[in-house]
Amino acid sequence: MRDIAIVSFVQSDCVRDAGAQNEVELIMPVLRKALDAAGIQSAQDVDFTCSGSCDYLQGAAFAFVSGVDPLGAVPPIKESHVEMDAAWALYEAVLKITMGQAESALVYGFGKSSPGELPIVLSQQLDPYYMAPLWLDSISTAALQARTMLDNGDITEKDMAEVVARSRKNAKSNPHAQLKGDVSVDELLAEPTYLSPLRKHDCCPVSDGACAMVVATVEKAKEWGKPYAVLKGIDHRIESHNFGARDLTQSPSTQAAAKSAGVANGPVEVAEIYAPFSHQEIILKRALGLGDDTVVNPSGGVLAGNLMMASGLSRIGEVAMRIIRGDIKRGIAHATSGHALQQNLVAVLEEA
Amino acid sequence: MSASAEVLSQAFTLGYTYTRSTGPVVGRFLTALRDRKIVGIKGSDGKVIVPPMEWDPVTAEALSDFVDLPDTGVVKSWAWVKHPRGKHPLDKPFAWAQIQFDGADIPMIHCVDAGDESAMKAGMRVKVRWAEETIGSINDIACFDPA
């Protein structure tokens, strides 16, 4: 693929309940800041805009259309939407730029999960005949996956608690994190199970918020005169919707996406991984082929705050900003969608 | 406009003027459930999948080789729901489980009414508890009982 410049990225705080703020009010501040950071005025100044959100969170068909209001889409703009995490909106923008139909794009994702019962809402992502009528929720499918790994001896409960303790510790330096602090593995293991074998802290919290990113061709980014990170590779793969037909202890779709995106083509200083459950970080770290020299989720990851439909794009943005600030030269980001890591996207980012 | 507070109203019944068929594979499984029977399907590699899939999960080949199975099986993996949610199939603590029917190779997910978490373990045998009335839905399996 051609190099794509990530010029700016902004994420809101992860909050448990945004109260009376609606989606438009969650989106507008991050859009403004992302556009300002790129030195442009509005969506009129990019060739393409794409958002990611889920109508089921708002509980209304075409609810995503209200997410276009913050753009000021008059005069008409070229705009699209994915009913997915905004990491996939970025993927669409990358395709648009690669096809030569755009030189710049605005990408954003948003989710206000607090009004509903999120794990039950997500049960409706499943097979509509065999699983959705059981209201098999997203925590339960993750718990089945964790049990399989524990029974196999792939992981221990201590391994899971270590992921959580590191997440909370790293999140202390992330002003947008919802859950942060110093907590020991022993303290975590002393907690009762919530949906056995998972404890509550093994599950990401429910959060409201949004994030936005501006991307462009490298030529356009130079014209704007802003620092940028380079997206060197991006790919996504999906596995069967039948859990029984999958090996839940592995993530072959992540492995395939990582290979295609070129993860192994250089050192990985930082990896931001979208693992909504502690054991999944271990699966993903293995699938991405990461060693101990890679810093995993320096932001705290989504166990510290999970913006549905925005967290995937945030992982990419977190790595991009570390490169733009000059902290690292190369890193990777991962996004997931569906239950028990069904679909996975991997992006490779490098310094300009 | 008159000053009186006349409100225009019209009775409206929301209706879907179409019917949706579950097709020859999903429909066959659901119809078998109505008759209190379990039907699986053979994948491209000969493995028996329950509930039957229309296309092979690996090769995406169309599948059509059905297999009759008993209503008993083995728990492969499980999770204990201490706090059932309002929508869940049981209103007391229960287990979600990946259950492999006898004669099948690929497990399906349903719930087990085991009473207590300590009664659950991988490898335990379970049997379908049929709903009082079966209508051709996955919920015709009310849950599984330890067998």
Of A137, A151, A245, the CB nearest to B49: A245
User: What average pLDDT does range B37-52 have in this prediction?
Assistant: 96
In chain A, whose CA is at the least distance from the CA of B106? A244
Average pLDDT of the residues of chain B: 94
Query: pLDDT tens-digit profile of A253-301?
Result: 999 999 999 999 999 999 999 999 999 999 999 999 999 999 999 999 9
Q: How far apart are CA B15 and CA A268, in angstroms?
A: 55
What's the ipTM? 0.92
* Chain A residues within 8 A of B117 when measuring between CB atoms: 196
Is B107 an interface residue toward A (CB < 8 Å)? yes
In chain A, whose CA is at the least distance from the CA of B94? A195
User: What average pLDDT does range A199-225 have in this prediction?
Assistant: 98
Query: pLDDT tens-digit profile of A293-316?
Result: 999 999 999 999 999 999 999 999
Confidence bin at A143 (pLDDT 50/70/90): very high
Q: Which residues 6-65 on chain B approach chain A with CB closer than 8 angstroms?
A: 22, 26, 30, 49, 51, 53, 57-58
Confidence bin at A351 (pLDDT 50/70/90): very high
Best B85, B135, B144 member to test A by mutation, with max A CBs in 10 Å, is B85
Query: pLDDT tens-digit profile of B73-113?
Result: 999 999 999 999 999 999 999 999 999 999 999 999 999 99
A208 three-state secondary structure:
strand
- Spell out the long-range contacts of B131-134 with Cβ–Cβ below 8 A and sequence spacing 24 or more: B134/B33, B134/B34, B134/B35, B134/B36
Query: pLDDT tens-digit profile of B11-40?
Result: 988 888 888 889 999 999 999 999 999 999
Q: How far apart are CA A133 and CA A144, in angstroms?
A: 18
Contact B81 A130 (CB under 8 A): no
Domains of chain A: 4-117+206-229 (3.40.47.10), 122-202+231-351 (3.40.47.10)
Contact B110 A194 (CB under 8 A): no
Which comes out higher in pLDDT, residue A304 or A74? A304
Q: How far apart are CA A140 and CA B122, in angstroms?
A: 16
- Give the DSSP letter of residue A113: -
Answer yes or no: is pLDDT of B47 > 70: yes
Picking from A128, A80, A263, the residue whose alpha carbon sits closest to that of residue B30 is A128
Amino acid at A130: Y
Q: What percent of chain A has pLDDT over 90?
A: 95
What is the pLDDT at residue A167?
A: 98
Confidence bin at A343 (pLDDT 50/70/90): very high
What is the pLDDT at residue B1?
A: 55
Q: How far apart are CA B27 and CA B136, in angstroms?
A: 8
Q: Where are the beta strands (DSSP E) in B25-102?
A: 38-42, 48-49, 66-69, 72-81, 94-101
Contact A134 B77 (CB under 8 A): no
Q: How many residues are recorded in chain A? A: 352
Q: What share of chain A is helix, strand, coil (3-state, %, to 5)?
A: 40, 20, 35
Chain position carrying tokens 């790595």: A319
Check if the beta carbon of residue A236 is closer than 8 Å to that of residue A91.
Answer: yes
Lowest mean pLDDT among A71-75, A86-90, A281-285, B121-125: A71-75
Answer yes or no: is pLDDT of A69 > 80: yes
What is the pLDDT at residue B99?
A: 98
Report residue B72: phi and psi, to 5°.
-125, 155
